[in-house]
């Protein structure tokens, strides 16, 4: 089981690095799916099968799809903006250094406590369901409301308002739309 | 099953940092959102690891909440990205620098 | 009635306060009534106080009134106190009476300019300060009045402040008199060190016992006080400010620079006569300063073309006469000349102002002429004033006062034939330039037409002053004319009697010489300026030298002004300046650097958050 964990975590890390270094948005999204799948495997190994399933279904299956939809709608395959950046590798230096420092600090913080025994407990779905609908009932209801707010907000923000132009200017508006497409 | 709690946390931390570097470096708003997703994923991993260590369902319940929040947030963020594209005709965040 | 003495300076000060604070809100008539009314009431008070005072027996003619204690620091406690004796009575009479007439005149004269209330406020402040100066019973209060009149002179010379030339003239007057004021202040310090008090009466009674006659201490004190007097009275070497001070309006020239402020130096020397008498060398220096000044100014007046500048140089010259009189020890003659001079010089300035106003601000005498028929009242009053200035024999007061000075400059204790010769030549020059002025302005053909006929408020003061100039001299007639000594009896209650040398001299000889010289001066002016018509004035370089007042301005410019300005310019950015500038520059650069951090780029801000996060975690872990 250890080997599986190490392989899965290695895949997750490499996939994540590929996500942030790609220029093509669709490629990056595919690598993101890969990363999420690897993390789902890690969940399973950690004794959380329900979380693993949930990760694949919701995270990789819905949220990433949203991304794909937007990419395709806006025609962002080519992603010319990043290619414009002339600095090339130089922009990567500072963030990489900073995050390496931070990672070292994290590892140091994690390891200064007494290292524990390898102990993984499996938590079943039934336990989660009971906990969700008794102890955290209020949280569950609020999550519902939050998702409702998300839906309404996304719908409202994504709307195009129709601009009422003078009829002599409508010709130019049509040509504007043609340019965008 | 010999994974220790610390190894899971190290993995989570590493994934968090990778996502963070992605946000810092990339100028395309969609890539920044992807980095954000990676970060949230790693936060969820921490909760799962904690739930597994203590044997309680609270970790996974928290993970459910995180996913729901991530979903809502991504939908609203993408709607904003669409509006931004309509307004600036680009998804480059350099064009968003008028609030100096 | 004598208890009301404090009202005499208080009324003008209150007039100043009311006009300065609220003057703008009153209509013009009320401003004029407040401005001149305070001086008028003060003049009436002075007349009634004077009558009461003169009825006292002569040895009791001193009145002190202490208002309050000014301050008290380790034994030095001057008070606001007034001291009335015959000397200050003469001065306050002249100041309030002539001042009132000038205020009446300026009601009409200044009514065409803006700043009416401001004018009367400044004039009231001036009269109040001058009254404080002459009524003060200690030198510190007198110095307060001294500074007050200097301030008002600055304010009033630069009254039309929108023209920068007026501001320059006002600054010049203030700075030059400041030089004198500083000398006087040092003199006051030395007096305080030696006597422990600045009360005039105490100093004068203690002086003969404390200071030896002819000692350097006496000389130093007298010379320092003389420095202050020279500055205020525009004598050599500080006479350069008075001709430029004619930039102020004519009433200002009449009041400040003819009748009152410039005589403050005369008052100072007369008041501290004991200190001067203790140093015969200082008295001689006073007389020499007076003699040189009257010659220098008299020659300069001959070459001027501006009407007011002739009168300015004439004032300098006449005050030289007063200094000459004080220097030889003829105290009462000097004060008598002061009073008569105040009358006729104020008359001349006011009448000259009326002429200038009638010709719509034309001040060049060579562009005037033929005004004799057009402005009759002004012509006759101006003529009477000029006759008094030129000391026309027997009928004018000027003759009696100037003649007394000439006589004493020869025969008084400190006098000599050289001083008499200087005064004699000065009298000759005086009558020449005076009647040059009269003939150029009023006779000949009319070159500028009359625009404006002055009204009653301007002509009545002229008439009053003309009457005083003629009949005022009869209160002091010399020995062989009836020996009327009303004035000198009055003054000699305060000032010492004039001591004559024991040499044989006949006064009538000097009187005849003075009469001859003034009449011949008039004749020379007549032949030079009336017989042939002079239309323009192109001064040759020789004439230019005297036109510029013997180029004293240029001398002071090269000696003092240029080096000072050069030093100030080279010191413009010294160490202290650089230090404070560098603080500003450093902050400027710092702000430019910091402003780069706000560039609106998201990545930049996120990096900042990461750095903060790193710092926080390291603090938590390692501290």
Q: Do B93 and C601 touch (CB under 8 A)?
A: yes
Tell me if chain A has a CB within 8 Å of the CB of B18. Answer: yes
Of A51-55, A111-115, C392-396, the poorest mean pLDDT is in A111-115
Number of helices followed by number of strands (H, E) in chain B: 3, 0
CA distance A45 to chain B (A): 8
Which residue in chain C is spatially nearest to A91 when comparing CA positions?
Answer: C603
Contacts of B16 (CB under 8 A, 6+ apart): B38, B39, B42, B43
Distance of CA C301 to the CA centre of its chain: 18
Tokens of C64: 């002190």
Which residue in chain C is spatially nearest to B95 when comparing CA positions?
Answer: C601
Question: Residue C389: enclosing H or E segment and its boundaries?
Answer: helix C376-389
A86 and A7 in a common domain:
yes
The HSE-up count of residue C532 (CA atoms within 13 Å, CB side) is 5
Q: Do A99 and C618 touch (CB under 8 A)?
A: no
CA-closest candidate to residue C42, choices C81, C82, C5? C5
Residue C557: Cβ within 10 Å count: 13
Per-residue pLDDT at A176: 55
Which residue in chain C is spatially nearest to B32 when comparing CA positions?
Answer: C603
Per-residue pLDDT at B100: 65
Per-residue pLDDT at C449: 79
A95 and A80 in a common domain:
yes
Residue after which a domain boundary falls, among A101, A122, A143: A122
pLDDT in tens, C361-397: 888 888 887 888 888 888 999 999 999 898 888 778 8
Cα B52 to Cα C187: distance, rounded to the nearest angstrom? 101
Distance of CA A118 to the CA centre of its chain: 29
Q: What is the CA radius of gyration of chain B?
A: 17
Please name the member of A94, A102, A108 whose beta carbon is closest to the beta carbon of C614.
Answer: A102
Residue after which a domain boundary falls, among A122, A148, A167: A122
A138 and A117 in a common domain:
no
Q: Do A98 and C607 touch (CB under 8 A)?
A: yes
Q: Which residue has the tokens 């369901």?
A: A129
A84 and A136 in a common domain:
no
Cα C412 to Cα B96: distance, rounded to the nearest angstrom? 100
Q: Are residues C336 and C488 in contact, defined by beta-carbon separation less than 8 angstroms?
A: yes
What are the backbone dihedrals phi and psi of residue B56, each rounded to the nearest 5 degrees, phi first? Answer: -120, 155
Cα Dmax for chain C: 117
Chain C residues touching residue B84 (CB < 8 angstroms): none
The CA dihedral of C608, C613, C615, C621, to the nearest 10 degrees, is: -170
Domain count, chain B: 1
Mean pLDDT by 10 residues, chain C (623 residues): 87 93 87 91 92 80 85 86 89 92 91 88 93 92 93 92 91 91 93 88 85 84 92 88 89 84 88 88 91 91 89 92 89 88 91 88 82 86 90 83 86 80 91 89 80 83 88 74 73 77 72 85 82 67 81 86 88 83 93 85 84 89 79
pLDDT at A57 over 70: yes
Tell me if chain C has a CB within 8 Å of the CB of A93. Answer: no
Contacts of B58 (CB under 8 A, 6+ apart): A131, A135, A136, B51
Alpha-helical segments (H) within C443-472: 456-471
A127 and A115 in a common domain:
no
Q: Do C598 and B32 touch (CB under 8 A)?
A: no
Per-residue pLDDT at A143: 94
Cα C228 to Cα C143: distance, rounded to the nearest angstrom? 10
SS3 C572: coil
Per-residue pLDDT at C122: 93
pLDDT at A84 over 60: no
CA distance B24 to chain C (A): 5
Cα C50 to Cα C53: distance, rounded to the nearest angstrom? 5
What are the pLDDT tens digits along chain B (100 aa)?
467 888 888 999 999 999 998 888 888 889 999 999 999 999 999 999 998 888 889 999 999 999 999 999 999 999 999 988 888 888 888 787 776 6
pLDDT at A87 over 60: no
- Which chains contact A through at least 3 pairs of Cβ atoms less than 8 Å apart? B, C
CA-closest candidate to residue C133, choices C223, C11, C261, C222? C261
CA-closest candidate to residue B5, choices C613, C614, A8, A5? A5
Q: Which residue has the tokens 């501006």?
A: C306
Chain B residues touching residue A179 (CB < 8 angstroms): none
Cα A165 to Cα C326: distance, rounded to the nearest angstrom? 100
Tell me if chain C has a CB within 8 Å of the CB of A109. Answer: yes
Per-residue pLDDT at A181: 46
Cα C478 to Cα C492: distance, rounded to the nearest angstrom? 16
Per-residue pLDDT, averaged over A67-72, amounts to 91
Q: Which residue has the tokens 């409508």?
A: A170
Residue B96 domain-assigned?
A: no
C570-599 residues touching B, CB cutoff 8 A: 598-599
With an 8 Å Cβ cutoff, the interface of chain C facing chain A consists of 607, 610-611, 613-614, 617-618, 621
SS3 C56: coil
Provide the CATH number for the domain around residue B76.
Answer: 1.10.287.3510
SS3 C79: strand
Q: Are residues C120 and C235 in contact, defined by beta-carbon separation less than 8 angstroms?
A: no
Tell me if chain B has a CB within 8 Å of the CB of A68. Answer: no
CA-closest candidate to residue C260, choices C384, C353, C343? C343
A140 and A80 in a common domain:
no
Q: How is chain A split among helix, strand and coil, in percent rounded to 5?
A: 75, 0, 25
A127 and A114 in a common domain:
no
Domain count, chain A: 2
A146 and A110 in a common domain:
no
Per-residue pLDDT at C101: 92
Residue B63 sits in which domain range?
5-89
Chain C residues touching residue B94 (CB < 8 angstroms): 601
Residue A51 sits in which domain range?
1-122
Chain B residues touching residue A55 (CB < 8 angstroms): 41, 44, 67
CA-closest candidate to residue B26, choices A64, A101, C608, A28? A28
A148 and A107 in a common domain:
no
Chain C residues touching residue B32 (CB < 8 angstroms): 602
Cα B89 to Cα C561: distance, rounded to the nearest angstrom? 71
pLDDT at A179 over 60: no
Q: At what angle do helices C216-232 and C164-195 cross, to 10 degrees?
A: 160
Cα C130 to Cα A52: distance, rounded to the nearest angstrom? 105
Tell me if chain A has a CB within 8 Å of the CB of B14. Answer: yes
Tokens of A24: 């093509």
C412-451 exposure pattern, b = at least 16 Cβ within 10 A, e = fewer: bbbbbeebbebbbbbbbbbbbbbbbbbbbbbbbeebeeee
Q: Are residues C448 and C362 in contact, defined by beta-carbon separation less than 8 angstroms?
A: yes
Q: Do B52 and A121 touch (CB under 8 A)?
A: yes
CA distance A89 to chain B (A): 10
Cα A110 to Cα A102: distance, rounded to the nearest angstrom? 12
A147 and A100 in a common domain:
no
A116 and A131 in a common domain:
no
């Amino acid at each position: 089981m250890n080997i599986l964990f190490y392989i899965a975590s290695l895949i997750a890390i490499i996939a994540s690095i590929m996500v942030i270094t790609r220029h093509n948005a669709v490629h990056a999204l595919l690598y993101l799916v890969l990363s999420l799948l690897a993390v789902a495997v890690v969940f399973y190994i950690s004794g959380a099968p329900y979380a693993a399933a949930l990760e694949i279904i919701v995270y990789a299956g819905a949220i990433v799809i949203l991304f794909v939809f937007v990419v395709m709608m806006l025609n962002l395959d080519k992603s010319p903006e990043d290619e414009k950046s002339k600095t090339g590798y130089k922009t990567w230096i500072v963030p990489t250094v900073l995050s390496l420092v931070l990672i070292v600090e994290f590892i140091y913080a994690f390891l200064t406590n007494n290292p524990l025994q390898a102990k993984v407990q499996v938590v079943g779905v039934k336990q989660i369901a009971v906990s969700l609908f008794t102890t955290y009932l209020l949280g569950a209801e609020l999550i519902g409301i939050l998702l409702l707010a998300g839906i309404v907000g996304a719908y409202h923000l994504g709307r195009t308002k129709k601009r009422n132009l003078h009829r002599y200017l409508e010709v130019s508006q049509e040509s504007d739309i043609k340019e965008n497409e | 099953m010999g994974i220790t709690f610390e190894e899971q946390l190290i993995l989570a931390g590493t994934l968090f940092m990778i996502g963070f570097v992605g946000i810092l470096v990339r100028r395309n708003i969609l890539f920044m959102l992807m980095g954000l997703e990676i970060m949230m994923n790693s936060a969820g991993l921490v909760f799962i690891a904690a739930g597994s260590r203590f044997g309680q369902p609270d970790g996974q319940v928290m993970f459910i909440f995180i996913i729901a929040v991530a979903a809502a947030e991504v939908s609203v963020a993408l709607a904003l990205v669409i509006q931004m594209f309509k307004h600036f005709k680009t998804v480059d965040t350099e064009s968003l620098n008028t609030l100096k | 009635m004598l208890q009301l003495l404090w009202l005499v300076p208080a009324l003008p000060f209150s007039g100043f306060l009311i006009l300065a604070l609220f003057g703008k809100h009153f209509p013009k008539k009320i401003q004029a009534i407040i401005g001149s009314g305070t001086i008028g009431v003060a003049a009436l008070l002075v007349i009634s106080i004077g009558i009461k005072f003169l009825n006292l027996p002569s040895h009791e003619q001193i009145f002190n009134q202490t208002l309050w204690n000014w301050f008290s620091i380790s034994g030095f406690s001057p008070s606001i106190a007034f001291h009335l004796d015959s000397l200050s009575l003469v001065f306050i009479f002249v100041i309030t009476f002539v001042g009132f007439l000038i205020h009446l005149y300026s009601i009409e004269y200044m009514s065409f300019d803006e700043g009416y209330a401001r004018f009367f406020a400044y004039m009231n402040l001036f009269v109040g300060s001058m009254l404080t100066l002459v009524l003060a019973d200690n030198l510190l209060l007198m110095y307060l009045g001294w500074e007050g009149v200097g301030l008002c002179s600055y304010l009033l010379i630069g009254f039309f402040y929108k023209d920068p030339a007026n501001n320059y003239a006002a600054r010049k007057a203030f700075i030059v008199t400041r030089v004198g004021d500083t000398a006087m202040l040092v003199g006051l310090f030395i007096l305080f060190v030696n006597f422990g008090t600045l009360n005039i009466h105490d100093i004068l009674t203690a002086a003969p016992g404390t200071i030896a006659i002819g000692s350097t201490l006496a000389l130093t004190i007298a010379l320092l006080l003389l420095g202050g007097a020279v500055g205020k009275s525009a004598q050599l070497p500080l006479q350069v400010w008075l001709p430029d001070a004619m930039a102020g309006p004519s009433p200002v020239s009449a009041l400040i620079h003819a009748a009152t402020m410039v005589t403050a130096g005369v008052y100072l020397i007369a008041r501290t006569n004991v200190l001067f008498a203790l140093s015969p060398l200082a008295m001689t220096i006073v007389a020499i300063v007076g003699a040189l000044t009257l010659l220098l100014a008299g020659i300069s007046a001959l070459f001027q073309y501006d009407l007011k500048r002739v009168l300015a140089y004439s004032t300098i010259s006449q005050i030289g006469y007063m200094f000459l009189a004080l220097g030889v020890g003829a105290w009462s003659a000097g004060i008598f000349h002061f009073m008569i001079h105040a009358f006729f010089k104020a008359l001349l300035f006011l009448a000259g102002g009326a002429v200038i106003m009638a010709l719509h601000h034309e001040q060049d005498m060579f562009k005037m002429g033929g005004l004799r028929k057009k402005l009759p009242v002004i012509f006759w009053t101006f003529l009477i004033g000029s006759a008094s200035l030129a000391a026309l024999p027997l009928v004018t007061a000027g003759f009696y006062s100037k003649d007394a000075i000439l006589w004493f400059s020869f025969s008084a204790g400190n006098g000599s034939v050289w001083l008499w010769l200087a005064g004699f030549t000065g009298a000759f020059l005086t009558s020449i330039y005076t009647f040059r002025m009269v003939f150029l302005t009023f006779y000949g053909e009319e070159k500028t037409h009359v625009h404006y006929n002055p009204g009653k408020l301007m002509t009545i003061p002229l008439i009053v002053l003309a009457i005083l100039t003629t009949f005022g001299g009869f209160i002091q007639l010399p020995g062989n004319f009836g020996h009327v000594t009303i004035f000198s009896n009055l003054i000699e209650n305060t000032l010492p009697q004039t001591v004559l040398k024991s040499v044989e001299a006949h006064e009538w000889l000097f009187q005849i010489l003075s009469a001859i010289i003034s009449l011949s001066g008039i004749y020379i002016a007549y032949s030079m300026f009336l017989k042939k018509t002079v239309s323009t004035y192109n001064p040759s370089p020789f004439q230019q030298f005297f036109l510029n007042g013997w180029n004293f301005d240029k001398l002071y410019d090269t000696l003092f002004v240029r080096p000072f300005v050069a030093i100030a310019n080279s010191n413009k950015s010294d160490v202290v300046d650089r230090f404070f500038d560098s603080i500003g520059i450093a902050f400027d650069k710092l702000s430019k650097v910091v402003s780069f951090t706000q560039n609106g780029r998201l990545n930049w801000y996120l990096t900042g958050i990461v750095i903060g996060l790193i710092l926080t975690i390291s603090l938590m872990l390692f501290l």
